[in-house]
Amino acid sequence: GAGVSQSPSNKVTEKGKDVELRCDPISGHTALYWYRQSLGQGLEFLIYFQGNSAPDKSGLPSDRFSAERTGGSVSTLTIQRTQQEDSAVYLCASSPLIRGKAFFGQGTRLTVV
């Protein structure tokens, strides 16, 4: 079956522009996570969804970052007024169970110029 799909795979944007990153989880997976991987850094947790609700948003770095999930499926991560420090690979993962095995997408490489 299909894995976790993320789009776009690469995004170059100008500083100050808004961007939307999309994640299509594996069908039926209840839990969905967003992580960020910056050059030389480890993976940084951003937000977690259980169904359409986000019980843990503690990793969002600022109010420029927001995310939503609709229909218990697709999720969108939005970054407003992008800054150069937002440049990173944004990874989405889904899991059939809370705290279960995590299945990651290929990521979206965001470059802010």
**Cβ atoms of 57 and 65 closer than 8 Å:** no
Give min distance, CB of 81 to another protein, in A. 26
Report the residue number, 66 or 103, with the smaller CB distance to another protein.
Answer: 103
Structure tokens at 113: 């110029």
C-alpha Rg value of the chain to the nearest Å:
13
Tokens 């420029």, residue located:
64
4 binds another protein (CB under 8 A): yes
Cβ 111 to another protein shortest distance, Å = 14
| CB neighbourhood size of 63 (10 A) | 7
Site for another protein in 24-53 (CB under 8 A): 31, 33, 35, 41-43, 45, 48, 50
The interface with another protein within residues 60-79 (CB under 8 A) comprises none
E strand or H helix at 69 = strand 65-69
**Contacts to another protein by CB under 8 A:** 4, 31, 33, 35, 41-43, 45, 48, 50, 55-56, 59, 91, 93, 98-107
